[in-house]
């Protein structure tokens, strides 16, 4: 694949690339705070819970030729990133077809696509993007069998194709040194070296009995996984890596990262996909780092 400079990229695109999926815990609104907490200099940027990639797109836009290694355990999401990078014209054509059919009969078409299981990479990717744009609250959630199970949202005219942003994302991923992988978060320990920055944004620890959304894949993120993550952070710290972690303002998280290696900041954040709009504001979360 031919690499082009970011100057050339910005001649090709009209907008700054931003997340192309609405994702639980997305970080777009927190970019100013995250930016203040990023080290001035670092080696490779690693993000093992990729999700919507808000911080990734910010870093790629602000730092010319930044080397990145991004990954997620959700294979459909990882496929979406690689398809947008490598096959953008075919993907947009497929999304336009979804848009046309959706406009004819939104309800029956939505549920027929939700039940479908396409084989081709283009159709898998356009299905994910179509469902994300038209489902209730833009929530990505699967059940224990790995099946997407969110009902139809009540939108008058959803932006299903969103061509301008998709082309911006494709261009910046092509122009940059970004490795995209599908793997468990612990695999980052093999690759990260002294001076690299690793940002963890895992499914959050619940702060109440009802706040238990951890289902981006058919494997929930458990308390044992949180302990695995904490041990991984300690190992990365001892290797000389710079570690930044977002999580909920929960007692368990604060206790696990209570040693003097870690600085904990409590920051205000909104919840953009809470089904009750009154519960979207007034939340706090923790930003934890070792530098």
Residue 221 near residue 24, CB atoms below 8 Å: no
In the structure encoding, which two tokens stand for residue 37, read together? 């907490």
Convert the pLDDT of each residue in 223-279 to its tens digit.
899 999 999 999 999 999 999 999 999 999 999 999 999 999 999 987 554 445 455
* Among 82, 100, 84, CA closest to 92: 84
Instruction: Enumerate residues 6+ apart whose C-beta is below 8 A from 262.
Output: 288, 289, 290
Query: What integer best gives the mean pLDDT of the chain?
Result: 89
Convert the pLDDT of each residue in 58-104 to its tens digit.
999 999 889 999 999 999 999 999 999 999 999 999 999 999 999 99
Give the whole-angstrom CA distance, residue 27 versus residue 42.
21
Name the pTM for this structure: 0.88
Give the whole-angstrom CA distance, residue 48 versus residue 53.
10
Neighbours of 41 (CB within 10 A): 9
For β-strands 283-289 and 263-269, DSSP reports them as antiparallel
CA dist 204 → 13, 59, 177, 233, 285 (Å): 34, 23, 29, 16, 9
Percent of the chain at pLDDT exceeding 90? 74
Convert the pLDDT of each residue in 219-230 to its tens digit.
678 889 999 999
Convert the pLDDT of each residue in 105-131 to its tens digit.
999 999 999 999 999 999 999 999 999
Give the whole-angstrom CA distance, residue 291 versus residue 272.
29
* Among 278, 217, 277, 228, CA closest to 256: 228
Whether 26 shows a pLDDT value over 90: the answer reads: no
More confident residue, 217 or 25: 25
* Among 188, 185, 178, 199, CA closest to 63: 178
In the structure encoding, which two tokens stand for residue 28, read together? 């777009």
Whether 195 shows a pLDDT value over 70: the answer reads: yes
Give the whole-angstrom CA distance, residue 70 versus residue 60.
12
pLDDT at residue number 216: 46
Residue 262 near residue 290, CB atoms below 8 Å: yes
**What angle, 0 to 180 degrees and rounded to 10, lies between the N-to-C axes of helices 75-86 and 163-175?**
90
């Amino acid at each position: 694949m031919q690499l082009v400079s970011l100057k050339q990229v910005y001649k090709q695109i009209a907008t700054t690339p931003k997340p192309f999926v609405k994702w639980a815990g997305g970080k777009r609104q927190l970019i100013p705070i995250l930016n203040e907490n990023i080290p001035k200099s670092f080696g490779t940027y690693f993000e093992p819970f990729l999700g919507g990639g808000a911080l990734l797109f910010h870093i790629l836009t602000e730092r010319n030729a930044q080397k990145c290694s991004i990954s997620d355990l959700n294979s459909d999401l990882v496929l979406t990133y690689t398809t947008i990078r490598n096959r953008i014209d075919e993907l947009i054509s497929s999304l336009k077809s979804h848009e046309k059919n959706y406009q004819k009969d939104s309800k029956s078409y939505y549920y027929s696509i939700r039940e479908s299981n396409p084989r081709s990479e283009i159709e898998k990717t356009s299905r994910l993007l179509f469902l994300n744009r038209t489902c209730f609250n833009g929530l990505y959630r699967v059940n224990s069998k790995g099946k997407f199970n969110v009902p139809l949202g009540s939108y008058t005219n959803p932006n299903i194709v969103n061509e301008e942003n998709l082309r911006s994302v494709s261009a910046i991923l092509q122009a940059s040194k970004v490795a995209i992988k599908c793997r468990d978060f612990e695999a980052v320990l093999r690759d990260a070296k002294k001076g690299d920055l690793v940002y963890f944004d895992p499914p959050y620890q619940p702060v109440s009995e009802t706040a238990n959304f951890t289902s981006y894949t058919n494997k929930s993120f458990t308390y044992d996984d949180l302990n695995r993550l904490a041990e991984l952070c300690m190992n990365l710290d001892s290797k000389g890596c710079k570690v930044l972690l977002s999580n909920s303002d929960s007692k368990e998280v604060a206790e696990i990262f209570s040693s003097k290696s870690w600085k904990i900041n409590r920051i205000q954040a909104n919840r953009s996909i809470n089904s009750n709009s009154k519960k979207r504001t007034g939340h706090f979360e923790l930003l934890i780092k070792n530098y």
